[in-house]
Amino acid sequence: MNELIQSLQQKIGLTGDQASDAVNHVMDYFKSKLPDSLHEHLDAAASGTDLTSELKSKAEGLLSSITSKFKM
Protein backbone atom coordinates (compact mmCIF):
# COMPACT_ATOMS: atom_id res chain seq x y z
CA MET A 1 0.00 0.00 0.00
CA ASN A 2 2.97 2.26 0.46
CA GLU A 3 3.38 2.63 -3.30
CA LEU A 4 -0.24 3.70 -3.66
CA ILE A 5 0.07 6.15 -0.77
CA GLN A 6 3.21 7.65 -2.28
CA SER A 7 1.52 7.89 -5.67
CA LEU A 8 -1.39 9.82 -4.17
CA GLN A 9 1.03 12.16 -2.45
CA GLN A 10 2.99 12.83 -5.63
CA LYS A 11 0.22 12.96 -8.23
CA ILE A 12 -2.54 14.61 -6.24
CA GLY A 13 -0.55 16.45 -3.58
CA LEU A 14 -2.10 14.79 -0.56
CA THR A 15 -0.26 14.71 2.73
CA GLY A 16 0.92 11.34 4.00
CA ASP A 17 -1.96 11.16 6.46
CA GLN A 18 -4.53 12.15 3.84
CA ALA A 19 -3.22 9.60 1.35
CA SER A 20 -3.13 6.87 3.98
CA ASP A 21 -6.70 7.67 5.08
CA ALA A 22 -7.87 7.65 1.45
CA VAL A 23 -6.26 4.28 0.73
CA ASN A 24 -7.65 2.75 3.92
CA HIS A 25 -11.13 4.03 3.07
CA VAL A 26 -10.99 2.61 -0.47
CA MET A 27 -9.70 -0.74 0.82
CA ASP A 28 -12.49 -0.91 3.41
CA TYR A 29 -15.04 -0.02 0.74
CA PHE A 30 -13.87 -2.76 -1.63
CA LYS A 31 -13.70 -5.29 1.21
CA SER A 32 -17.30 -4.48 2.11
CA LYS A 33 -18.30 -5.37 -1.47
CA LEU A 34 -16.19 -8.53 -1.80
CA PRO A 35 -16.50 -11.92 -0.11
CA ASP A 36 -14.21 -12.38 2.89
CA SER A 37 -12.28 -15.03 0.98
CA LEU A 38 -10.95 -12.34 -1.38
CA HIS A 39 -9.78 -9.87 1.27
CA GLU A 40 -6.31 -11.38 1.55
CA HIS A 41 -5.91 -11.17 -2.23
CA LEU A 42 -6.92 -7.52 -2.22
CA ASP A 43 -4.41 -6.83 0.56
CA ALA A 44 -1.70 -8.65 -1.39
CA ALA A 45 -2.46 -6.74 -4.57
CA ALA A 46 -2.41 -3.43 -2.70
CA SER A 47 0.96 -4.27 -1.21
CA GLY A 48 2.38 -4.92 -4.67
CA THR A 49 2.55 -8.71 -4.39
CA ASP A 50 2.43 -10.58 -7.69
CA LEU A 51 -0.61 -12.81 -7.41
CA THR A 52 -0.04 -14.71 -10.64
CA SER A 53 2.05 -17.55 -9.20
CA GLU A 54 -0.13 -17.82 -6.08
CA LEU A 55 -3.33 -18.06 -8.11
CA LYS A 56 -1.76 -20.53 -10.55
CA SER A 57 -0.69 -22.77 -7.67
CA LYS A 58 -4.15 -22.69 -6.10
CA ALA A 59 -5.83 -23.41 -9.44
CA GLU A 60 -3.51 -26.37 -10.06
CA GLY A 61 -4.28 -27.74 -6.59
CA LEU A 62 -8.00 -27.39 -7.16
CA LEU A 63 -7.78 -29.07 -10.56
CA SER A 64 -5.74 -31.92 -9.08
CA SER A 65 -8.29 -32.38 -6.30
CA ILE A 66 -11.20 -32.44 -8.74
CA THR A 67 -9.40 -34.81 -11.10
CA SER A 68 -8.57 -37.27 -8.32
CA LYS A 69 -12.22 -37.42 -7.26
CA PHE A 70 -13.36 -38.46 -10.72
CA LYS A 71 -10.71 -41.14 -11.36
CA MET A 72 -12.03 -44.67 -11.22
Question: Using one digit for the tens of pLDDT, what is the confidence trace for 13-66?
Answer: 999 999 999 999 999 999 999 999 889 888 888 887 776 777 777 788 888 888
Q: How far apart are the first and last CA of the chain?
A: 48
> CA–CA separation, 59 vs 11, rounded Å?
37
Q: What is the pLDDT of residue 72?
A: 55
Q: Is the dihedral of CA 55, 56, 58, 62 positive or negative?
A: positive
Confirm whether pTM is higher than 0.75.
Answer: no
Q: What is the pLDDT of residue 26?
A: 95
DSSP letters for 39-57: HHHHHHHHTT---HHHHHH
Q: What is the pLDDT of residue 58?
A: 79
Q: Where are the domains of the chain?
A: 2-70
